[in-house]
Structure 1
Amino acid sequence: MPRATPDIPNASMADIAFLLLTFFLVTTTVANDKGLTLQLPPPPEALPQDLEIKIPERNLFKIQINSFDALLVEGDPYTGSMRELTDMIKMFIQNNGLDPESSESPIKAIVSFKTDRGTTHKKFVEVLDAAQRAYYEIYASNLGVTADKWRDIASDPDRRVEYNKSREGYPMNISIAEPTKVGG
């Protein structure tokens, strides 16, 4: 009589595989990518085709960066520091119509930011940080605190009233235009 070959029972293999899969799905952490927190505009097809908004030149603070990371601020070459750029933006926003060449009010003031396709990410982020820093410093001064203290207030959900009060009348109007193509 021939001898039977031993068998490995595999009826519960599917159950074991399912339990292992569930274990690894539950215990694995998924990397949470962080990036720039920007509110993107609606896609062009979502906007009315006859929409045309006229913004007076005096309400635009124009910053341009070319593909060599050289800045133009208000049409003039800029070689100053990012700190000085932040101060210029703050003066523009808080002009309140005093200087006829500058913004009429903080609500109407727009910081317009345009780059070329060859602009480095580092320079883009430096200039964007300078523009946002100007607003954060204004918000902090509205509450009579430092910018660091204001960031603590902004991140604390229990202090929403203070946060909203600091931003009152000063919307963060930063317009980031689509980059222009360089070369071919």
Structure 2
Amino acid sequence: MARRENPEINAGSMADIAFLLLIFFLVTTTMDVDSGISMKLPEKPPANYDPPKIKEKNIFEISINRNNDLFVDGDVMELKDLKGAAKKFIDNGGGIGNPMPGEEKGKECDYCNGDRDPESSDHPNKAIISIESDRAADYEVYVSIQNELRRAYTELRNELSLKKYKRTFDEIEEAYKKSGNKDENLERQVQVIKDSYPQIITDLDPTGTE
């Protein structure tokens, strides 16, 4: 009886298929990317720039020492109390603000709900939050502080938006994005709220040594 030979398998095409599958998975697979805090760095001022004089009462001073202790205007504060303190400072409305868009001169804040303490911030568009941290402080603490400050601004914006437009700022901003950033009325509303409570957070150079 004749011996039957085993048929040979062409492995060349298998290698091509494996290579194509590898390319497909590389192109379609999404990678997890660590995301940080979105911040826009200030542009370098011109050589002859004369910075405006800022009243001390318009600065909300936050500092973090190497032991991760939080200080606000020199006093120790718990992280859970930071958002409320920041809102109170931003929304104080104790004086005259910078001119708003379309205005020739500044005026008192007619939408602020604060104590109008003359020793605290004059207006939300003058209220500056300053953060200074020790180089040895934990980054997680810094991020937590930034989150609390952003929550303070978000709540103030949502409260004013509900009062003016019967919708939260978050809802209006989301609707504007869904319109493809083309709805001029929503764009105007978003800008009005942002101008009313501009997010002014500045970072000072770190202190201490690693």
TM-score bracket for this pair, using the shorter chain length: 0.7 to 0.9
Q: How does 1:75-114 map to 2 (within 5 A)?
A: 75-76=74-75, 78-82=76-80, 84-96=81-93, 97=95, 98-114=116-132
What's 1:28 paired with? Answer: 29
- Compute the TM-score of the two structures, normalised by the length of structure 1: 0.74
Take 2:47 and 2:208, find their aligned partners in 1: how far apart are those partners? 24
Count of paired positions: 169
Instruction: Give the root-mean-square deviation of aligned CA atoms.
Output: 2.9
Take 2:12 and 2:149, find their aligned partners in 1: how far apart are those partners? 65
What's 1:155 paired with? Answer: 174
- Measured after TM superposition, the shift of residue 100 of structure 1 is 2.5
Take 2:162 and 2:42, find their aligned partners in 1: how far apart are those partners? 32
1:117-169 deviation line (CA, Å, top 9, x unaligned): 11112211221112111111110110127xxx543443341454443333232
- Does structure 1 residue 62 correspond to structure 2 residue 61? yes
Q: Counterpart of 1:48 in structure 2: which amino acid?
A: P
Instruction: Check the 8 A contact 1:92/1:109 in 2, yes or no.
Output: yes
SS at match of 2:196: coil
Farther-moved stretch of structure 1 (135-144 vs 87-96): 87-96
What's 1:174 paired with? Answer: 201
* Distance change in 2, residues 1:51/1:165 (3 Å): closer
SS at match of 1:171: coil
Take 2:92 and 2:205, find their aligned partners in 1: how far apart are those partners? 27
Question: What is the aligned-residue identity percentage?
Answer: 38
Structure 2 gap segments, 5+ residues each:
1-9, 96-115, 180-185
Q: Counterpart of 2:209 in structure 1: which amino acid?
A: V
SS at match of 1:163: helix
- Compute the TM-score of the two structures, normalised by the length of structure 2: 0.66
Instruction: Check the 8 A contact 1:67/1:182 in 2, yes or no.
Output: no
What's 2:141 paired with? Answer: 123
Take 2:146 and 2:155, find their aligned partners in 1: how far apart are those partners? 14
Take 2:77 and 2:89, find their aligned partners in 1: how far apart are those partners? 18
Q: Counterpart of 1:166 in structure 2: which amino acid?
A: I
What's 2:46 paired with? Answer: 48
- Measured after TM superposition, the shift of residue 110 of structure 1 is 0.4
- Measured after TM superposition, the shift of residue 12 of structure 1 is 8.4
SS at match of 1:172: coil
- Does structure 1 residue 143 correspond to structure 2 residue 141? no
